[in-house]
Amino acid sequence: MSHKNWSWVSARSTGTSHIRSGTACEDFGACREVRIGRNSTLSAVVSDGAGSAVMSRYGSFIVARVFSKFAERHLLNWPGEPFSRSNADELVDDIRDRIGAAASRTEAPLRDYAATLVGTIIGPTWASIVHVGDGSCVFRLRGSPSWQVASWPANGEYASTTYFVTDDPEPNIRMSHIDGEVEELAVFTDGIERLVLQFDTQTAFGPFFETMFGPLRTVTAGGRDRSLSRQLRSFLDSAALTDRTDDDKTLILARRTS
């Protein structure tokens, strides 16, 4: 078995508003490590389906699945190279094609599959973020005590709206690049962004991330820690969060182990 350079936890939680209405969780996420020779790269993605779109949970599933596969294919073909803007455009085109095929099978409009995208690829000394809509990505560089926001949530034209990969005529795609060795990374949907980001200063709420990464910093084995992931799910389901937000929540926490 090959050595893994990353350990991570991940969980998603159905919002209490969805539980009351009898609807399923509309979030999805995925995380995987890709090794090519001596290089190790992490991809982590979350997607939130639009509450007003009846097929959005399938849209968010497609977003997460296509991003993960596209990122792995990119790394196999261009090992060590960050995402370019043309790569991001091609990725979102692939996502829209897959959603379009699903919409055709169900005879539904594309907007019924509306979903956001926060996709990250973390290389040895760089990182690329592809972002459509809300949700966010927060990181800490090796040797730095501070948490930084890689890409800020985007609001739509009207209050409480955002952008989706299905938007016409084309989605609002934002690219961000990080120079440096990312040691710890958090990727999350909008269900918790008001709890972990300080909107008045557009900064990360450091104490939250320091607390959340405490247990993961004791893990030496690579890959997904299932026990800590179950604990994370319990935290996302707890009254401490559900009393403050009734939305779906997805959170991935990843840490470089070597």
Distance between CA atoms of residues 190 and 196, nearest Å: 10
* Mean pLDDT within 186-210: 96
* Mean pLDDT within 201-208: 97
For residues 255 and 50, which has the higher predicted lDDT (pLDDT)?
255
- Structural domain spans, the chain: 6-256
Six-digit token string for 184? 């710890």
> Going by C-beta distance under 8 Å and a sequence separation of 6 or more, which residues neighbour residue 203?
149, 197
Beta bridge partners of 129: 120, 176
- pLDDT value at position 159? 59
Question: 37-46, 81-90, 210-219, 235-244: which has the minimum mean pLDDT?
Answer: 37-46
- pTM, two decimals, is 0.96
Cβ proximity of 27 and 51 under 8 Å: no
pLDDT, tens digit, 9 for 90 and up, residues 5-31: 999 999 999 999 989 988 899 999 999
pLDDT, tens digit, 9 for 90 and up, residues 32-70: 999 877 778 999 999 999 988 899 999 999 999 999 999
The separation between CA 45 and the C-alpha centre of its own chain, rounded to angstroms, equals 3
CATH, domain range 6-256: 3.60.40.10
pLDDT, tens digit, 9 for 90 and up, residues 146-168: 999 999 999 866 656 899 999 99
Distance between CA atoms of residues 55 and 63, nearest Å: 13
- Smallest CA-to-CA distance from 37 within 62, 70, 3 is with 3
The separation between CA 118 and the C-alpha centre of its own chain, rounded to angstroms, equals 4
Cβ proximity of 34 and 43 under 8 Å: yes
Helix, coil or strand: residue 90? helix
Question: Given pLDDT bands bounded at 50, 70 and 90, which one contains residue 78?
Answer: confident
